[in-house]
Amino acid sequence: MSRLAPLVLGLCLLATPVVSHERLATPSPGAYGAADQPSVEIAQEDPRRRPGTAPRRPIPAPKPRPGAVPPPPLIQPPEFIPIPDRWRLIESIGVNERWWDPYNQNTWKGDRPLFDDWFFNLAVISDTVMEPRALPTPVGGPATEKANSLDIFGDINQFLFNENLIVSLSLIKGDTAFKPPDLEFRFTPVFNFNYTEVEELRALFADSAEGTTRTDWHIGIQEAFIDYHIRNVSDRFDFESVRVGIQPFSSDFRGFLFQDSQLGIRLFGNRKNNIFQYNLAWFRRLEKDTNSGLNDLGAALREDDIFIANLYYQDFPVRGFITQATVIYNRNRESGETFFNKNVFIERPASLGEETPRDYDVIYFGLNGDGHFGRLNLTASYYFAIGEDRNNQFSGVESDIFAYFVAVEPSIDFDAFRLRGSFLYASGDDDAFDDQENGFDAIFENPQFAGADTSFWIRQAVPLIGGGGVAISARNAVLPSLRSSKEHGQSNFNNPGLFLIGVGGDWDVLPELRLSFNANYLRFATTESLEFLRNQPDIGSEIGYDLSVAAIWRPFFTQNIVFRLSGAALIPGDGFKDLFETDQEVFYSVLANLVLSY
């Protein structure tokens, strides 16, 4: 070994371009043992070294220690644990899924595939409502619950209990973390139980013998669709998809015109890195269950079609604001039928005016926006409706429809407090017997505006007593449309219209507790249609003041448990008092709502 050292050293010197002879130290052969042979230090010129700097010194090799255990060989068979896919890597460090925990790895929540790239998502929601309320109620006509009740207006107290158990089942093909699913099957049944108690006969049933309480249940199918991913149109996963079946849809940001879950087909997608989004859709309306408001697949489809085309433009006109343009055509052909609801009240045609079946065509042009301009948040909506009613409910002649609607909600945030304003105007019909209908009406509204369902006016259906079997405003609706119901009735453009202005606020007292309040002033835009129906002149236009407050508590800072308690009061104005001839100072509504989600 020591004889070869000079030869190896010579070869190294020949291969070295430049050698510093002052630092070359070569030990004599045999001066050290083989085990103690030190490393040879050779300083080389580094081509990357700047001129005038000291050359780099190589790090000497460590000296072996007598008795030390030699290191393992560099090449050896690796030891590993096989896993079926990358989603189960976390199990290799001892983290196993718990099916009841939606916030960790959970196959039932779509975190890991069932097989191949097929995922399953299960959602279960319990929505419980208890609702004491006081609102105008008619005396039961030929029969009454109380002796000597000869007035038109009866006892105002009512109570509602409603339970919805929602089960959503989705089977999805494709890893959806960064791109739309390739294929999705979704099925969502809702199991409903409801109980209602009133003080007057014929408030719940057309037959007085049915009494003043009602217990009912229904199973509705709110989603049952196939979603097929047609193609990607860019490397940023801009896409085109089609969805067929019972599916939810909202025409605008706040549900002013059409927000429902209906049977239809929808082509949708986006462009330019999601800057543009669009929908092309057709829906054929399903009949609703009367007491739960859910879809009733046991009834025939309605002759009511809705065609929709809209376009969303993000960051227009400024960054942080979304603008939407929409065109919606509602084609109704229900003149050939008479429909009674589950409680045997007539719904189509409405018990209003001539009470004759009718057809209509109406086109809505809408411009909507949602977002912020600097610190100012803004939601705005405008609709213009034109069309033709084949049979005016008051005059019986063909009439042209010209109506419009505008709603604006500005708000601004101050740390944990948001201050909101609300303004809404829906045009009314000021002449019931001309050939025009100017009262704006929606297709199926569910407004998230001015307090939404914590508001008395929006939450409760106020009946038009003595003027036909219709409601001034429907449940979970803001427009005074004078239709038999939102679920079964037809749109009515012979209505008084509405003016609303209000102020509200949301205060996050704690991360898990929010307080909200709303104060709205309401009045009819016109009252001519009301005066004709009630055969009562000089009805005032003032509906009154709607005051509401709500507390929303999320004990675990999530949406898994949400408890909401709200109260609302309507202080009637001169128009409301004229309609109901009441000295009642306050009508009220209390809502206790518990939502449990998995």
Ramachandran assignment for 348, one of left (phi > 0), alpha (psi -120 to 50 degrees), beta (any other)? beta
Single out the residue of 441, 433, 342, 434 nearest to residue 387, CA to CA.
Answer: 441
The pLDDT value recorded for residue 468 is 81
Closest CA to 526 of 496, 500, 499: 496
Which of 43, 49, 36 has the alpha carbon at shortest distance from 12?
43
Cβ–Cβ contacts within 10 Å for residue 590, how many?
15
Domain contains 552: yes
Give the Å distances, CA to CA, from 111 to 98, 107, 316, 435: 12, 5, 35, 59
The Cα 457–Cα 451 span in angstroms is 10
Which residues share a beta bridge with 404?
Answer: 384
pLDDT at 52: 54
Q: Using the CB atoms, write b or e for 539-559: b if 16+ within 10 Å.
A: bbbbbbbbbbbbebebeeeee
Residues 327-340 pLDDT 10s = 999 999 999 889 99
Length of the chain: 598
The answer, yes or no, to whether residue 181 has pLDDT greater than 70, is yes
Q: Measured over all CA atoms, what is the biggest interatomic distance in the chain, rounded to whole angstroms? A: 132
pLDDT at residue 138, as a whole number = 86
Would you call 353 helix, strand, or coil by DSSP?
coil
Residue range(s) defining the domain that contains residue 33: 1-52
Q: How far apart are CA 562 and CA 529, in angstroms?
A: 42
Joined tokens for residue 443: 């297709």
369 in the same domain as 478: yes
Nearest Cα to Cα of residue 403 among 483, 462, 481: 481
Q: What is the pLDDT of residue 42?
A: 38
Residues in Cβ contact with 525 at an 8 Å cutoff, skipping those fewer than 6 apart: 425, 426, 427, 428, 496, 497, 498, 499, 541
pLDDT of residue 23: 37
282 and 363 together in one domain: yes
Helix (H, G, I), strand (E, B) or coil at 454: helix
| pLDDT score of 50 | 54
Q: Identify the band that residue 88 occupies on the pLDDT scale cut at 50, 70 and 90.
A: confident
The reply to whether 132 falls in a domain is: yes
Whose tokens are 């006969």? That residue is 201
- pLDDT tens by residue, 434-454: 999 999 999 999 999 999 999
282 and 172, same structural domain? yes
Instruction: Tell me the C-alpha distance between 43 and 16, whole Å.
Output: 10
Residue 89 lies in a domain: no
Spatial CA neighbour of 99 closest among 120, 128, 126, 127 = 120
d(CA 267, CA 244): 9
Mean pLDDT of the chain: 87
Evaluate whether residue 369 is within a structural domain. yes
For residue 98, the model assigns a pLDDT of 82
The string of pLDDT tens digits covering residues 359-383 is: 999 999 999 999 999 999 999 999 9
Query: Is residue 68 predicted with pLDDT exceeding 90?
Result: no
- Asked whether residue 60 carries a pLDDT value surpassing 70, the answer given is no
Secondary-structure percent of the chain, ordered helix, strand, coil, rounded to 5: 10, 45, 50
Q: pLDDT: is 583 or 186 the higher one?
A: 186
pLDDT tens-digit profile of 254-298?
Answer: 999 999 999 999 999 999 999 999 999 999 999 999 999 999 999
Same-domain pairing of 122 and 46: no
For residue 587, the cross-strand partners are 570
- Asked if the model's pLDDT at residue 37 lies above 70, the reply is no
**Contact at 8 Å (CB) between 488 and 496?**
no
Shared-domain flag, residues 321 and 445: yes
The count of other CB atoms within 10 Å of the CB of residue 285 is 21
Residue 68 maps to a domain: no
* Same-domain status, 195 and 338: yes
Q: How confident is the model at residue 145 (pLDDT cuts 50, 70, 90)?
A: low
Helix, coil or strand: residue 181: coil
Are 590 and 464 within one domain?
yes
Cα separation, 416 vs 7, in Å, equals: 82
Token pair in block for residue 584: 């009642």
- Lowest-pLDDT range of 176-180, 280-284, 343-347, 554-558: 176-180
Residues 43 and 124 in one domain: no
Q: What is the C-alpha separation between 75 and 78, in angstroms, rounded?
A: 9
Q: Is the distance from CB of 331 to CB of 303 less than 8 angstroms?
A: no
More confident: 544 or 353: 544
Q: Which residue has the higher pLDDT, 48 or 272?
A: 272
**CATH number, domain with residue 364:** 2.40.160.100
Lowest mean pLDDT among 278-287, 465-474, 491-500: 465-474
pLDDT band at 93 (very low <50, low <70, confident <90, very high): confident
**Mode of pairing for the β-strands spanning 436-437 and 417-426:** unpaired
Last residue of one domain, picked from the residues 52, 69, 89:
52
The CA-CA-CA angle for residues 391, 396, 401, to 5°, reads 50
Instruction: Pick the closest to residue 467 from 209, 135, 136 (CA basis).
Output: 136
Sign of the CA dihedral with 14 first, then 16, 18, and 21 last: negative
Pick the more confident residue, 495 or 115: 495
**What sign for the dihedral angle of Cα 87, 88, 92, 96?**
positive
Using the 3D structure, point to which of 30, 52, 74 is the last residue of a domain. Answer: 52
Q: Helix, strand or coil for residue 6?
A: helix
At residue 10, does pLDDT exceed 60? Answer: no
Least confident of 432-436, 470-474, 479-483, 567-571: 432-436
Quick one: pLDDT at residue 327?
A: 98
Helix (H, G, I), strand (E, B) or coil at 260: strand
Looking at residue 54, its pLDDT comes to: 56
Q: In whole angstroms, what is the distance from residue 479 CA to residue 218 CA? A: 28
Same domain (yes/no): 47, 139: no
Residue 483, pLDDT > 90, answer yes
d(CA 552, CA 474): 25
Q: How far apart are CA 41 and CA 27, in angstroms?
A: 11
Question: Same domain for 22 and 166?
Answer: no
What integer is the mean pLDDT of 178-190? 92
- Asked if residues 153 and 138 have their Cβ atoms less than 8 Å apart, the reply is yes
Answer yes or no: do 44 and 141 share one domain.
no
For the cut 90, the answer to whether the pLDDT of residue 414 exceeds it is yes
Whether 163 is covered by a domain: the verdict is yes
pLDDT of residue 63: 64
Q: Higher model confidence: residue 65 or residue 239?
A: 239
Of 223, 204, 214, 216, whose CA–CA distance to 295 is shortest? 223
Confidence of residue 82 (pLDDT cuts 50, 70, 90): low
392 shares a domain with 478? yes
Element (H, E) at 10: helix 4-15
Least confident of 62-66, 106-110, 438-442: 62-66
Does the pLDDT value for residue 89 go beyond 50? Answer: yes
Whole-number pLDDT of residue 143: 63
Average pLDDT over every residue of 196-221:
94
Number of neighbours of residue 477 by Cβ within 10 angstroms: 24
Q: Which two tokens stand for residue 87?
A: 């989603």
Helix or strand run (H / E) with residue 128: strand 118-134
Q: Positive or negative CA dihedral for 32, 33, 38, 41?
A: positive
Q: What is the mean pLDDT of residues 24-51?
A: 42
Of all residues in the chain, the percent with pLDDT exceeding 90 is 69
Q: What is the domain count for the chain? A: 2
- What are the pLDDT digits (tens) for 170-179? 999 987 677 7
The model's confidence at residue 147, banded by pLDDT at 50, 70 and 90, is: low
* 110: in domain: no
Q: Is 546:518 a contact under the CB 8 Å cutoff?
A: yes
The pLDDT assigned to 126 comes to 98
Question: Does 113 reside within a domain?
Answer: no
